[in-house]
Each structure stands twice: as structure tokens, then as C-alpha cells.
Amino acid sequence: MRKLMLGLLMGFGLAACATLQPELVPSNWQFTALNGRTLSADDRVTMEFAEGRVSGVSGCNRYTGPVALGEENAIAFGLLATTRMACLGEAAEIEAAFLHQMSRIDSYRFERGALVFFASGTEVMRAQRD
């Protein structure tokens, strides 16, 4: 999987250093859905884009890592670094699902102000501007 992600990052234009869309940068997003599950602000799942980077809170811990865009709304997140606080209960479940899906996401689009992420054509996450 790591080799695939690195290949995707390189293939998505690191040589060209594709600029993130103005709709993404700078911006703060609060996730409202993950794997069909409704999330609230209390679930603490966020994302912030900066040029070539993404960071936020994954339900319990903070994360950061590279992001690359390709043609036709292709997107790839590189290996994410996370803090290591102990997460219990629902926060642990949400975080595990979020980090798993981040490694699978391959495209995105905007729908009525929402940022929607897809993996192999299936919606996996949805966020609203914070």
C-alpha cells in the first residue's frame, strides 16, 4: 500500500507541483459523515489544506501529511504522521475508520458547498467548511 501511495503521489504531478484549488486552500473543514455515519463537531474530525499539505484532527489525535492533486479531481494523501494519544470508545473507532479511508481516497468533488471524498467511486467522507 505504501508503494502504491508513493506512486500515486508521484503520478499525480509532484513533478508539476499541482496547485491546490482555491476552494481547498486555505480552508478548514469539519467532517459531517464518515462511511455513512453522521459526525458532529463533538466527534472532532477536521481537515485543513495548505499548499501541498493537509492536517487536522482525526477524532482524537492530530495528523499531518502530503497531499497531491491530479487531473479530473484526482487526489492522493501520502503517509500521515499522527500524535499518539490514547483514544477510547467511539473516538477510537472514528479515528481508525478515518485514517483507513484517508489511505483509500482517490477523488473528490464539491456538492452544494460540501467537500466529498471518494474511494473507487464510492463516497467515503463528507465535510463542510468550518
CATH number of the structural domain spanning residue 50:
2.40.128.270
Mean pLDDT lowest among 20-29, 74-83, 85-94 = 20-29
Instruction: Pick 27 or 22 by higher pLDDT.
Output: 27
pLDDT at res. 51: 83
Distance between the two ends of the chain, CA-based, in angstroms?
31
Give me the pLDDT at residue 19, please.
64
What's this model's pTM, rounded to 2 decimal places? 0.83
Spatial CB neighbours of 36, under 8 Å, sequence gap ≥ 6: none
Residue 26 carries which side chain, given as an amino acid letter?
Answer: P
Domain around 15: 2-129
pLDDT per residue over 98-111, tens digit each? 999 999 999 999 99
22 — pLDDT class (breaks 50, 70, 90): low
User: Using CA atoms, how far apart are residues 21 and 40, in angstroms rounded to an integer?
Assistant: 26
For the chain, the average pLDDT equals: 87
What's CA 19's distance to the chain center, in Å?
Answer: 17
Is it the case that residue 27 has pLDDT exceeding 90?
Answer: no
Question: What pLDDT digit, counting tens, does each position of 4-17 carry?
Answer: 444 544 444 443 34
Domain count, the chain: 1
Helices and strands (H, E) in the chain, number of each type = 2, 10
Give the separation between CA 45 and CA 62, rounded to whole angstroms.
Answer: 9
- Note the Cα 49 to chain centre separation in Å: 9
Average pLDDT on 79-95 reads 95
Q: With a cut of 70, say whether residue 122 has pLDDT above it.
A: yes
Helix (H) or strand (E) holding 30: strand 27-34
- Residue among 49, 61, 117 nearest 94 (CA): 61
Residue 71 makes CB contacts below 8 A (sequence gap 6+) with: none
